[in-house]
Structure 1
């Protein structure tokens, strides 16, 4: 993609206004928190203190709207404490401009590295830098600095108290995540009726797993409906795929295929009913016709072989899903020991060592997050210096704009930069026009600021340009409380916002971290994770008596994480103005299709794992050994632009097939797996050498 096309696409993305589900009651509650803080501070304090405290309430409320599974009061309090500490430290250093610039650079570097912990941590850390830049411009003493920090913390306390006193749909986000996962399974079952090899995006299941992780205190309060269906939905996916598969399941046409379509339709109806029940906290309602379709026919069974086993397992799992979701809504139950061991979310204090490990992992020059931290630090420091030298006043707006729009990837930074400037233009001119026409008083400005922040909370998911418009107007009205002139506010804000945005955009062009150049590494990581997943499943066939269920599960989770990283990398690379280096767009799509097929073949094997009393499979053990030996070199070949060599796995499979024949789920699924890795080799091989060594082209 050329620079002109990339800039045009990112600008269009930044200015796009999307339809989104609105939460008016939640937005009203957050706006009330800001109103309470501003009102009390104006009544008991001064306008300048009201301006300072309002940012604490605003930022704490904003954090509760982020995609995080932690309790909303905890988020509000954690953000408020961080903002208060940041503000106090900034006040201690502002007397010496050199010391403050050094502190600002250090704070920004840490904020940039916070993206290694997660997007919520990165966003909150960026807010800490922005609030410190704004509040320290309000003159005060050391005692006043403590006072300001306390007021900012008070804003978070008010927001947390409102969430506790006025709960709105408790556990709503967790319910939505689980319901979305069940609905995705239902949609998958419906698509399998017409496309037996339909693909499935595991993202809803990954989100549901993230939502299921909780602290011990949350586990004691969790509704019973959220405790069981997720694990059953995970087990349903391979069963659905195995039942519909034309190779391992029923034939493509005939009575057996008709029965499979009937079962898949009934499964979709049941999963939709369970998703609706979980989302709204109601009992499960399934029609008698659907339940009748899931009964074993009284006459001769239509399905045979592997398809019959999949159908019987599907009926059992669906019955368990309905039973687990059809509990009394008000009941709670403790987390099962197995879930507690693997889905425990660390508390905020225990999150510190986890965060430190993430920071150490990304503290390297080749890391996109590490380069982002260096980039944003340089931009904010330069922006602060330039803003202070310009005779516009409010010089902090330039670095504040930069830190709020800059992200670790190109597309988000550029789209947010365009959206920020456009929203600022609209918001500042609207608010400045109202200030010029009506000259509102202090309390009217406070009311208008609260109205703007309420609109921002309500509309923030429709697009960053809309949120920027509301924030720009909010800042103008806040400064109106403190007696700032509206005309100076308008022109200074526009000029410095433009300066900060241009610095952010130029920095990414001068010091980029292109995802396109790392696509082969991401693909190799996905291949390695796919291979380890296949090895874990094959180990169960080789030694059925060795029961290690967590090994397969953990390998599957690693495979999903690697797939997600690849998909996110591809999405970012498609928007970058960089010609492909090492893998073309066509090869990228072919490789992705091959890797998805490899994962699907392994999933089909997982759907028919042998019982513990089944005889061992020497062929599976020999093939697993050959695959294990070939996997590291194959991943290295993908990275180094060589053709992966799968000769040894092919020979092991040929010996296995000669010994047992073509019957058996594992043998047939292994053939699909080898077809997938051969397609991968064709996709990533250099153009001048396309034929696989040792393979017939007849």
Structure 2
């Protein structure tokens, strides 16, 4: 992509206003907390302290809007407290410019590095630096600075108290994440009816797992419907795929395929019903049609072998999904099931995953049992460290990024530090006043990747112009006093809370108006703030964009490394699955589960990197867009085949398949070597894998599922080599393209 196209795309992105589901009650709660703090500060300390303390409550409310699975009160308190510390230290050093610049550089560098610990921490730290540049100009003495800092802490506490006293869908994000995972699987089941090898993006399942990782305090109040449904949803996906895939035994057409389509349609209806119930906290409705489909008397006659096992397991899984998702409130108990009948958690599940359904269940079991059934025993939850325990983990992540070569986060920290200090120095030398606008704008728009930095810079400048123009017009029309300015500031903040998810330009317009009214409440005329803010915001945004162009952290050159990481992770996952056919251990396969999670993480990292690379004004270096797409399809196929084999892992005590161990060893070694070859821009070869498969065929009748899966794995590996092979086709004597096959090294090297 050229620079011109990249700039046009980022500009369009920054100015886009999206239609999103608004949360007016949450916005009203945040605005109410801000109003409480401003009113109290005005009554007790006056306009100056009220303006400073308002920033603490304002930022604390923004922290509660971030996509984080932690308790919202903790985020509000952490935001208000960290802003208070930043403001007090900034004021203490503000009288000595060299000392303040040193503090500003250190604080900004640490804020840039904090993105390594996650976007929520990164945004809070970045906002602290930006707001500190404003708030340190408000106090006039050390005692006042301490008072401002104390009121910022109070602002965070007020917002936290409101979240506790007036919860709005307290577990709403967690419910939405789990419901989205079930809905994605319902959509997957419907697509499998028409495309038996349809792809599935595991991102919803990963988000649901992240949401299920909770703090010990959250574990004491988590709704029962969120306890085990996610683990069951994890098990539904491979069973759906194995039931639909022709490689597992069901013909592409015929009565067996029609039966599979019926089961998939019924499964989609059950999953959708469970998703709606979890999202809204209501019982799962009865679905007689789905129950009749899974209870059809001819099920065992039509499906045999692996398809029959998959249908049996799918019926049992769906039954448990409905049972867990539709559990009653505590104290209610069904008369039809005794407490001791609760299922035992599957030992193969990692902590926080649901119990495995009864393997003896037949496909005739109803998929929609009585929703009033007693919930099963809740397994241990996935533990997320508390806020204080997070500090060592965040420090470790930051140290890791510092030691990485060409780390994007470290480059961002260096870049944002240089721009902030430079912007502050330039702005203080200009005859405009309010020099903090330039570095504040730069800090708020800069992100570790190109697209977000440029789109936010455009959105911030455009939003600032709109917000300042509207606020200035209103000030000239109404001439508000202190209390009316405070009310207008609270209104603008409430609008920002309401619209912040619709796009940057709308949010920035509200922020600009909020600051105009807030500083007007403190006694500053609009003529003192509006002109310089527009000019200095443009200066800060221009510095941010220039800095990224001069010291970038492009993702395009790292695509091969991301691809190699995904290949190695997929290889370890597939090898772990195949090895369990040689060493049957039932469903207790923690190594398979860990390898699967690592493969998912690698896939998501690749997808995010590829999406960023497509928006960068950088040419590819050895991995074209078409080659990247073909390689991605091949790796998706490797993961899908491994998932199909995982769905049919043999029970403990089943006859082992010795050749599977040799194939798994060859596959693991070959994919590790292939990952190194991809990083070094070489085409991987798979001779050891082919030889292991040939030796396997010479041993006689192998297990049908694992042998078929091994062949599909080899085919997918060959497709990967074809995608990465850039060798041109043979040329004729006259120099024209023969159009024939390529020489050995591509497909022949498989």
Whether these two folds match at TM > 0.5 is: yes
Task: Find the counterpart in structure 2 of residue 611 from structure 1.
Answer: 651
Which residue of the other structure, out of 364, 372, 391, is the alignment partner of 1:352?
391
Distance 2:521 2:492 in 1: 14
Task: Find the counterpart in structure 2 of residue 273 from structure 1.
Answer: 273
Task: Find the counterpart in structure 1 of residue 355 from structure 2.
Answer: none
Distance 2:459 2:435 in 1: 21
Task: Find the counterpart in structure 1 of residue 574 from structure 2.
Answer: 534
Task: Find the counterpart in structure 1 of residue 150 from structure 2.
Answer: 150
Quote the offset at 1:329 in angstroms: 3.8
Cα deviations across residues 388-408 of structure 1 (Å, max 9, x unaligned)? 111111110100000000000
Which secondary structure state, in structure 2, belongs to the residue aligned with residue 82 of structure 1? helix
1:502-521 equivalence runs, <5 A: 502-521=542-561
Quote the offset at 1:547 in angstroms: 6.8
Contact 2:719-2:747 at 8 Å conserved across structures: no
Distance 2:711 2:519 in 1: 69
Task: Find the counterpart in structure 2 of residue 14 from structure 1.
Answer: 14
Distance 1:331 1:584 in 2: 60
Which secondary structure state, in structure 1, belongs to the residue aligned with residue 187 of structure 2? helix
**2:402 maps to 1:363:** yes
Query: In 2 relative to 1, CA 552–331 (structure 1 residues): closer, same or farther, beyond 3 Å?
Result: farther
Which residue of the other structure, out of 568, 593, 598, is the alignment partner of 1:553?
593
Distance 1:105 1:519 in 2: 32
Distance 1:338 1:474 in 2: 46
1:422-441 equivalence runs, <5 A: 422-441=462-481
Cα deviations across residues 588-608 of structure 1 (Å, max 9, x unaligned)? 100000000010010010010
Which residue of the other structure, out of 432, 450, 455, is the alignment partner of 1:410?
450
Which residue of the other structure, out of 480, 483, 487, is the alignment partner of 1:443?
483
Task: Find the counterpart in structure 2 of residue 29 from structure 1.
Answer: 29
Contact 1:281-1:329 at 8 Å conserved across structures: no
Quote the offset at 1:682 in angstroms: 1.1
Contact 1:223-1:331 at 8 Å conserved across structures: no
**2:414 maps to 1:374:** yes
Task: Find the counterpart in structure 1 of residue 527 from structure 2.
Answer: 487
Quote the offset at 1:304 in angstroms: 1.4
Which secondary structure state, in structure 2, belongs to the residue aligned with residue 17 of structure 1? coil
1:224-623 equivalence runs, <5 A: 224-297=224-297, 301-329=301-329, 338-339=351-352, 343-364=382-403, 365-545=405-585, 548-623=588-663
Cα deviations across residues 554-588 of structure 1 (Å, max 9, x unaligned)? 11100000000000000000000001112001101
Which secondary structure state, in structure 1, belongs to the residue aligned with residue 301 of structure 2? coil
Distance 1:426 1:40 in 2: 31
Contact 1:516-1:580 at 8 Å conserved across structures: yes
Distance 1:224 1:159 in 2: 28
Quote the offset at 1:662 in angstroms: 6.8
Unaligned 5+ runs, structure 1: none
Distance 1:453 1:697 in 2: 62
What's the C-alpha RMSD, in Å, of the aligned pairs? 1.9
Q: Structure 1 stretch 659-668 or stretch 245-254: which is displaced more?
A: 659-668
Cα deviations across residues 312-348 of structure 1 (Å, max 9, x unaligned)? 1100101111111111145799x98932767100001
Quote the offset at 1:226 in angstroms: 0.4
Distance 2:743 2:207 in 1: 40
Contact 1:411-1:572 at 8 Å conserved across structures: yes
Cα deviations across residues 354-392 of structure 1 (Å, max 9, x unaligned)? 111101110044100000000000000000111111111
Contact 1:282-1:329 at 8 Å conserved across structures: no
Quote the offset at 1:629 in angstroms: 2.0
TM-score, length-scaled by structure 1: 0.97
Which secondary structure state, in structure 2, belongs to the residue aligned with residue 419 of structure 1? helix
Task: Find the counterpart in structure 1 of residue 732 from structure 2.
Answer: none
More helix by share: 1
Task: Find the counterpart in structure 2 of residue 117 from structure 1.
Answer: 117
Contact 2:451-2:615 at 8 Å conserved across structures: yes
Quote the offset at 1:661 in angstroms: 4.2
Query: In 2 relative to 1, CA 600–302 (structure 1 residues): closer, same or farther, beyond 3 Å?
Result: same
Q: Structure 1 stretch 624-633 or stretch 641-650: which is displaced more?
A: 624-633
Unaligned 5+ runs, structure 2: 333-338, 353-378, 730-741
Query: In 2 relative to 1, CA 439–331 (structure 1 residues): closer, same or farther, beyond 3 Å?
Result: farther
**2:223 maps to 1:223:** yes
Which secondary structure state, in structure 2, belongs to the residue aligned with residue 37 of structure 1? helix
Contact 1:641-1:686 at 8 Å conserved across structures: no
Which secondary structure state, in structure 2, belongs to the residue aligned with residue 168 of structure 1? coil
Distance 2:77 2:749 in 1: 65
Query: In 2 relative to 1, CA 16–345 (structure 1 residues): closer, same or farther, beyond 3 Å?
Result: same
1:662-681 equivalence runs, <5 A: 664-681=704-721
Query: In 2 relative to 1, CA 341–645 (structure 1 residues): closer, same or farther, beyond 3 Å?
Result: farther
Distance 2:524 2:271 in 1: 58
Quote the offset at 1:628 in angstroms: 2.1
**2:204 maps to 1:165:** no
Which secondary structure state, in structure 1, belongs to the residue aligned with residue 208 of structure 2? helix
Contact 2:666-2:689 at 8 Å conserved across structures: yes
Quote the offset at 1:299 in angstroms: 7.4
Distance 1:331 1:216 in 2: 23
Work out the number of aligned pairs and report it: 698
